Amino acid sequence: MSWQRIYWGGALPMLHTIRHLDEKTVVRHSDMPQITGTYKFAPALGSGGNRVRRDGATTDWWLIVQCDRDLGRYLRHLCKLEAPGGVKISEPLWGAHVSIIQNETPPNLEHWNDREGREVTLEYEQAPQETDGYIFLPVDCPEALDYREQLGLPREPKWPLHLTIGNCKNA
């Protein structure tokens, strides 16, 4: 797997965590921007409601956090301005989103789908990255990782949490 960082200027944001062990609380101070998104279980692939992928698998065991489409447009625009040679970037099928669960059947199904439509706050790094034609920004979302654990899945997904903003494959 090749990871490439695309810079559009500025310093990378720093994340600071202060732990109060006696109170068992964590106070976060971050220079990373915060956004909200909405939990969507088994997201449809397009407007027709189809959940069958090109490879024949389904999105039945997927959970994404859907983010504002305008945010995705804005971040793709910034990427295009800074990328050499006027790279073309398409919007992802689900728009700007974070994949929390990717085709993993949770062992603890009693909580599956109980956050549908609920808002969650994410922090994201401002320096976009690219791998295999997908453009994304690393994300920090302890609530989503806690939910993975509640479902009986490993805390960390196969691919670290990231905000997918576009791809160059179908552009």
One pLDDT digit (tens) per residue for the chain, 171 residues: 233 344 343 333 333 333 333 444 444 446 788 999 999 998 887 777 777 776 777 788 999 999 999 999 999 988 888 776 767 888 888 889 999 999 999 999 999 999 999 999 999 988 888 888 889 999 999 999 999 999 999 999 999 999 999 988 765
What is the pLDDT at residue 170? 66
C-alpha 25: how far from chain center: 25
Q: Can you tell me the distance from the alpha carbon of 119 to that of 129, in angstroms, rounded to the nearest whole number?
A: 25
Q: Can you tell me the distance from the alpha carbon of 171 to that of 166, in angstroms, rounded to the nearest whole number?
A: 9
Non-local (6+) Cβ contacts of 124 within 8 A are 32, 33, 35, 137, 138, 139, 140, 163
In this prediction the pTM is: 0.78
What is the pLDDT at residue 66? 95
Domain count of the chain? 1
Q: Can you tell me the distance from the alpha carbon of 24 to that of 48, in angstroms, rounded to the nearest whole number?
A: 46
* Residues 99/160, Cβ–Cβ less than 8 Å: no
Cα distances from 128 to residues 7, 77, 140, 154, 165, in angstroms, run: 7, 12, 14, 26, 9
Neighbouring C-beta atoms of residue 134, cutoff 10 Å: 17
Which pair of structure tokens corresponds to residue 43?
A: 């997201």
Structural domain containing residue 28: 4-167
